[in-house]
Structures are given as structure tokens and as C-alpha cells.
A = this chain, B = another copy of it.
Amino acid sequence: MSTPVSAADQARAALSRLFEPSDTVGLGLAAVVGAVDALRIARRELTAGRAIRAELYDLLDLTDHGSRDHLQEGLDRWAPRVADLAPERDLATLSRLGGRLVTPDSREWPGALEDLQSAAPLCLWVRGRPEIPDRSRLAAVVGSRDSTSYGASVTADLAAGLSTRGYSVVSGGAYGIDAQAHRAALASGEDGGLPPTVAVLACGIDRYYPAGNEELLRVIAERGLLISEVPPGSSPTRWRFLQRNRLIAALSGVTVVVEARWRSGALNTAHHAAGLGRPVGAVPGSVHSANSAGCHRLLRDGTAVCVTDAADVAELAGPLGTFPTGDRAREAATPAKEQDGLAIPDLLVLDGLPVRASTTVDKLAVVAGLSAREVMGGLGRLELAGLAMRTPEGWRRLKA
């Protein structure tokens, strides 16, 4: 499925190797002069004049450019990589993998990425047949690599429930919570064109990292989507992991952290999502579990809302389907108690009614602190509700 790549897209492919993710000077340069000329400037085939610099620094809101030459610093930063540029080779690798380059010119380009503004990626390297779904259909489920059995079980329930509700589960392809989320989503079957799960990687989409997840990542490439902003062959670095997290957050309509330690990359994803105004959920857990400390931190500082199941997450994500969500579903599922809905005087009468013996209206009036007339009215209503019965000696309580 090799499709012709435009010059602009080929330049974007090249720049995605030249620039580290979120290199704002590089991204800004591409925004100002276009990818093709940005690449020529980076290659020193063209020189950026005063006007371009002014527009670039204005775009980046760099008011201190008098003292620092940010563009020159960028050129120096990119220079060591210029010799290795071979976008045709990268695109051929992509093609061989059955993948495609998705750029802002593509119909498939996720508009949600524009919320990243000057940090929006230049392009996405994508493997997998389905199109990237709209963010209203993407729910990120993330967490720490050293998950507990509790985290694994909650993740499986969440991911399966989200699949059932018509969401595609986004995660980072790592061990632990990520892998559990991908697996449970894959097991929940596919819904027409929607990928069951999407893995956003910090390395190239031809690399299976971590190695233990190779089989899983291959299945995702087959049935779901593998996405990265760095070209094939790129290795995962800490910086790329951190920046990858912003893509997970931006692509997804909601982000849920299932388990995270006090310091965890999953918190970084949560903060990216919150910064973008996306809803964030955190799953509570034992206060004795270090693996839930990060979730509790997010709950305490107000970054995240407490979510306990897929219905809660769907409620957080906003309206999509017709499933009853969150608290409303739980309220409906909780059996009402017999006294629910009773007026206060009736409750007082009910409280005063003995179960094993009978009592009189006068005694009830003293016990309940009500007038005889109120007691009689209350007894009549309780009788109708099947909660009180008349006896030869007066009244006694019936258990509903």
C-alpha cells in the first residue's frame, strides 16, 4: 500500500528525524516557512533572513532573542544529524511495514493534536489498518510498569468495559498497566472500523520495545494501531517517553491512571492531559500500596477525578453512547432501603414501632415525639407501604 508522498510530507518525515520531539524552534520554523524550506534551512541550503527570524521569534513568544540566537542554536543542534538524513529510506521502511505517514495534510490527521499548539508533532508514523479515531472515541489507560495484581485486574476490567462502550483504548505499550490495557482491549473484540487498541510509542514503530512485549506489539500492529512521531529505527529515550506522553494525552478524550507511584511517568501523562483541558481520572487503591500513591496524589491535588469502573470513565469522557454511566448506574443498581423516601414523622413512627410486640398510638407518640394525630397519619402511610400492621393490641412493625 505504498502511496505517493508529497514533497512537503517527505520533508516532514526528514524533519521528524532531525528534530527531537517538541523542539519548539524547529517546529516553529516549519510553521513559518513550511516543512520543505525548513529542511533546506536546516541543511544550510537556505539561510533564514531577518524577517523569518522575527516571525519565528514572534510565534514562539521569545522576547529575549536579543541575547540568544535560538535559531542558530537550533541549527547547531540539528547539524550533527543532517548527514544521516534519508527520508526515502525511512518511508520505504514504513511502506515495507505496511504503514503510512499521517501529516496535517492527511484526511486522517487527528485534529486533537492541534491542541498541542506549537508542540504539535510534524507527522505521525502509523502502522495498522484502521484510521486513527476521533478523540471522543479514544480513552487512554496508563500506569506504572511494576503493576500489582490489583492494578492488573482493574485495568482489565476498565479496558474491557471501555471497549464494550465503544472506546478504543490508548496506552504506551510498556510492561504492567499499559500491556494489560492493550491486551484486555484486544480480547474484547473489534467494532467495525475502530481499532480495539492504540499504542503510542517513544521509539520507531519498527522497534518492539520493551522486548518482552514484542508479541503484543505485533498483534497491535496487525489489529490495532502503532503510532510514533519519531521515524523507524529511532530508539526510545527518556525525553521521547516524556514527549510521547503528551501525544497519548492529546489524542485521547479522557486519560485514566490506574496505578502509579508517587513519581511515575503516568503522572506526566495525566498532567499533560490536564494541561490540555482533557478530563483525567485516577483509580483509588489501598493507602498501603505504593503503586497507588501517585493516583492518590492526583486525586488530592485535583488533577484527577476518582474513577472506579468504565462507567465512571465514560461519564468523565462525556456523552458518547446510551450506556448509563457512573454514579447514576450505581444508584440504580443499589437496592433502595425500606425507609427511603419516608417523611421525617413517618420515619420517627417507624423507628418507634416494635417488631416483636404491639404498641399503642399514645405510647408511640411519647417515643416518637409526635402528636397522636401525626402518629395515626404515619401509621396509615406505613401500613400502606407494608411496613406496619394493626394487631388486636395496637400496632407493630412489619419487615419489608
Contact = CB atoms under 8 A, between A and B. Distances in A.
A181 B289 CA distance: 21
A28 to B, nearest CB: 16
Interface string A286-300: 111000110111011
A64 interface: no
B263 A337 contact: yes
Contact of A239 (B77, B78, B344): B344
Interface stretch (A29-37, A129-137, A267-275, A364-372): A364-372
A306 interface: yes
Contact of A77 (B84, B285, B369): B369
Interface stretch (A88-96, A97-105, A184-192, A326-334): A326-334
A306 B306 contact: yes
A63 to B, nearest CB: 20
Interface in A174-219: none
A358 interface: no
Contact of A308 (B76, B296, B312, B352): B296
Q: DSSP class of A's interface residues: helix, strand, loop or mixed? A: helix
Interface in A340-399: 344, 347-348, 350-352, 362, 365-366, 368-374
A311 to B, nearest CB: 11
Contacts of A20: 348, 368-369
A292 B309 CA distance: 13
A81 interface: yes
B300 A326 contact: yes
A164 interface: no
A207 B300 CA distance: 40
Contacts of A150: 286, 288
Given A348-B20, A374-B76, A366 B81 contact: yes
Contact of A73 (B73, B296, B371): B371
A23 B369 contact: yes
A79 B369 contact: no
A57 interface: no
Contacts of A288: 150, 153-154
A80 B305 CA distance: 51
Contacts of A344: 239
A296 B300 contact: no
B337 A80 contact: no
A118 interface: no
B284 A80 contact: no
Those 6 A-B pairs whose CB atoms lie nearest each other, nearest first: A284-B284, A76-B371, A80-B365, A299-B306, A287-B308, A20-B369
Given A73-B371, A285-B287, A296-B308, 8 more contacts: A20-B369, A76-B371, A239-B347, A283-B287, A284-B287, A287-B308, A293-B308, A293-B330
